[in-house]
Homo-oligomer: A and B are copies of this chain.
Amino acid sequence: MKAWEEKIRKVVPYVPGEQPQKKGIIKLNTNENPYPPAPGVEEANRAFSIDCLRKYPDPTASDLVNALADRYGVRPEQIFTGVGSDDVLAMAFLTFFHSDKPIFFPDITYSFYDVWADLFRIPYERKPLDANFHLNPRDYDAPNGGIVFPNPNAPTGVYEDKSVLEDILQHNADVIVIVDEAYVDFAAGGSAQTLLDRYENLLIVQTFSKSRSMAGMRIGFAIGAPVLIRYLNDAKYSFNSYTMSHHALRLGVAVVSDEAYFQHTIKKIVETREWTKRELAGLGFVFPDSQANFVFASHPAKPACEIFAALKERGIYVRYFPKPRIDNFLRISIGTQREMEQLLQALREIVSDEKICEES
């Protein structure tokens, strides 16, 4: 190792799901929305004046912030925006998890949490979910430097009732609690937003990448008390003043303004999800009840790694995590009804096949 190499921050990065460029595949591995963005986005892009690109965008992202504040019935000072919810979460970890005490998150959860903690040298402890992949609020009663979990959880899809969230918030009034709601628009129980008035230390993070079909535009946001948003913005302005491009601002506003399309798309995905659950159960799959745009399923007779490989061979990409407790599960994103029918057809063939999984 060279001298200059010694003092470099070394980390083991997060590995995102594959983004295969091949045509004709069925991509159910990164929880993208199978439907295009709201029609207004096309229009906003057509009306976009390229000349404005020579100027910096509004660093406060005020058009988008205002649109989100209107949509969620909060004040603009309660909204923070970033380059996808990963950017928002990274900034929130950096800002709020600045204690010597460990932060807490579930053992089975979004696999970026420990990566951010490692990157920023934040101590952490994983709290095991129960056998049904549910949180035990009592696990979060010890002294800690902050708490973060997704609701619905990823990759399980399990949704925790607001009573559970409130229990955790009540026992952790002295730290920031981040609820990562990337998938909440697909959950019948809805957002923790209703708790914001009572818990100033609650930060909610959401994204345009799933329910709003804009993964490729990179827009995420946080909702919280103005004081939290102020601290987040201080960190953001100390990192990169101009994160949201002109395109993200314009097209983002167009997305938020079409509530009917948003509701319609979600309804279709939820219907397909429920259909998929019934069909998977019919094939013998077991899975926690998902409230997200994916199902986390295991088959008692067929190892997940084998199903994963067999699906890939057929051009169907799902996500497999070779990790303790979940290495016999597949996370299957909800695509169009037609895509899920093709998936089910493939699974029908695969689970009836007798071949044993080989190490690869």
B-contacting residues of A (Cβ < 8 Å)?
2-5, 7-16, 19, 21, 27, 30, 32-37, 41-42, 45-46, 48, 50-59, 83-84, 86-87, 90, 94-96, 98-99, 115-116, 118-119, 145-146, 173-176, 200-201, 209, 213-218, 227, 231, 233-248, 251
Determine the distance from Cα of A35 to Cα of B154 in the docked complex, in whole angstroms: 46
- Contact between A216 and B55 (Cβ–Cβ < 8 Å)? yes
> What is the chain B residue whose CB lies nearest that of A86?
B240
24 CB < 8 A contacts A-B: A7-B145, A8-B96, A11-B234, A16-B59, A33-B54, A35-B54, A36-B53, A45-B45, A45-B50, A46-B46, A53-B214, A54-B215, A54-B216, A55-B216, A83-B83, A87-B239, A87-B240, A87-B243, A90-B240, A94-B119, A116-B239, A118-B238, A218-B244, A245-B248
In the complex, chain B residues whose CB is within 8 Å of the CB of A246: 216-217
User: Shortest beta-carbon distance, A274 to chain B, in Å?
Assistant: 21
CB pair B213 A19 closer than 8 Å? no
User: Taking chain A's interface residues, is the majority helix, strand, or loop, or is none over half, making it mixed?
Assistant: loop
Distance between A119 CB and nearest chain B CB, rounded to angstroms? 4
Asked whether, in the complex, the Cβ of B7 is within 8 Å of the Cβ of A99, the reply is: yes
Contact A9 B94 (CB under 8 A): yes
Q: When A16-B56, A59-B19, A246-B216 are in contact, do A2 and B200 touch as well, CB less than 8 Å?
A: yes
Please tell me if the beta carbons of A173 and B4 are within 8 angstroms of each other in the complex: yes
Contacts of A11 in B (CB 8 A): 234-235, 238
Residues of B within 8 A of A42 (CB): 50
Report how far A46 CA is from B143 CA in the complex, Å. Answer: 55
